[in-house]
Chain A
Amino acid sequence: MEAPDELLMLAYRDGDAGAFETLYARHRGALYRFVLRSLKDRSDAEELFQEAWIRVIEARERYAPSARFKTWLYTIAHNLLVDHWRRKGLTLVELNDDEHASPDNPAHQVEARETAARFLQALEALPPAQREAFLLHEEGEMSVAEIAAATGTNEEAAKSRLRYAMTKLKAAVDE
């Protein structure tokens, strides 16, 4: 059975560097995509991603598992994003189509690209708070209560943001 995140973080706090590596491997992809899809600039996203982990490292001595590690991690990322948005405003990263071409037939490729582009457009068009709620749900696999905790809002607001995001994305997919 895998060790829970909170135990790994406590082990890291007590000097076990290997515990951090496991923790990092577990969350790196999802956190990266969460940040990447929340920001326009890839280098900004990488900087913010790195900063979030550095904050985790620096705060290890004060870490106490009062909440789930994942909620704590995404709260740190959320705070960094809020700072970033305030400085620069927000748009989403444009994915480079050529990098992600599928080996399927051309007609299917075009259709798939169009669908993906439409979906991304809809995601990009969401208000930041709704997009964040959606990304936390998808990438962070968070419940409404956890989204509320990570973003410093109440459950009703988190639920409403997520519902609006889902409705708008659904409309885009059904087009």
Chain B
Amino acid sequence: MSDDPKISQRYRELPREEPPRALDDAILAASRRAVQSRPAPLVAPTGRRRWYVPVAAAAVITLAVAVTLHIQHDRPSEEIDAVAPAMKVQETPAPKATEPARAERRAPQPFAAAPSAPAPAAAPAASPAAEAEPRGDIGAASSGVRASRDERVRAQAQVARTAMEQGPEVILERIAELRKQGRHGEADKALAEFRKRYPDYRLTDEMRAKVEKK
């Protein structure tokens, strides 16, 4: 390519404008906030950042316990009602740890209290081994409800995981499908999310016509 120095010179003579200070500050503040709240890296870091791993592990464990308790706490009342009379008839000595856990579950308690002190004691009551024990009709009814709930949770997680693993083309096809169905609000949100996720993805004209609002 033949550069013309005269053109460059003319261009360089134009005012060399710079972004305003406030804009610089806003962008740099956003960049700092982002690294302060960043998730743990996939590869274990070395050196001074080694403490990330135990902190992340502790956070994951706390979250897992909190979610388990939350699920227990939010169990539908019919399920508990169905279990309660049967418990009376059967009068089987339940493991001691489960009783306070059930009583606790029935007591009105704010959600915020769930991950606090009693959490570790209640956790074993929900252990998979306890759930798997055969308990006649009661066990069947309750584990049936639980199984369907678990299935639902697993299905939701699978959908989320699939969405994460999808390539940009698959996501775009879905956005196009939403547009076709006239669900423009959802399509707009999905497209905005897509652009954040793939900022340098170049849409073809054909795809752009499909995913953008006309």
Contacts and interface: CB of A to CB of B under 8 A. Distances in A.
Interface of A: 12, 14-17, 20-21, 24, 28-29, 32-33, 36, 46, 49-50, 53-61, 72, 75-76, 79, 86, 95, 99-100, 112, 115-116, 119-120, 123, 138, 143-144, 152, 159, 162-163, 166, 169-170, 173
Contact of A170 (B4, B24, B26): B4
Interface string B28-44: 10111011001101000
A175 B24 CA distance: 39
Given A14-B41, A15-B35, A57-B31, A32 B200 contact: no
B27 to A, nearest CB: 5
A173 B7 contact: yes
User: Closest 6 CB pairs between A and B?
Assistant: A55-B199, A152-B202, A20-B31, A32-B19, A75-B200, A100-B15
A57 B199 CA distance: 10
Contact of B27 (A53, A170, A173): A53
A11 B34 CA distance: 13
Contacts of A115: 10, 13
Nearest to B14: A116
Contact of A17 (B16, B17, B31, B41): B31
Contacts of B91: none
Contact of A46 (B20, B38, B39): B20
Given A32-B18, A144-B1, A50 B7 contact: no
A139 to B, nearest CB: 9
A79 B200 contact: yes
Nearest to B36: A17
A54 B27 contact: yes
28 contacts: A14-B41, A15-B35, A15-B38, A16-B35, A20-B28, A24-B27, A29-B16, A36-B17, A49-B23, A50-B26, A53-B31, A55-B195, A55-B199, A58-B34, A58-B199, A59-B197, A60-B34, A75-B200, A79-B199, A112-B13, A115-B13, A119-B13, A138-B11, A144-B1, A166-B7, A170-B6, A173-B6, A173-B7
Contacts of B2: 163, 166
Contacts, number: 117
Contact of A79 (B20, B38, B41, B202): B202
A161 B214 CA distance: 29
B49 interface: yes
A169 B10 contact: yes
A115 B201 CA distance: 39
A118 to B, nearest CB: 9
Given A28-B19, A29-B16, A12 B35 contact: yes
Given A33-B17, A115-B13, 20 more contacts: A12-B35, A14-B45, A16-B35, A28-B18, A29-B19, A36-B17, A50-B23, A55-B199, A58-B34, A58-B196, A58-B199, A61-B39, A72-B200, A75-B200, A79-B201, A95-B15, A119-B11, A163-B1, A169-B10, A169-B11
A15 B37 CA distance: 10
Contacts of A28: 18-19, 24
A29 B18 contact: yes
Contacts of B31: 12, 17, 20-21, 24, 53, 57
B109 interface: no
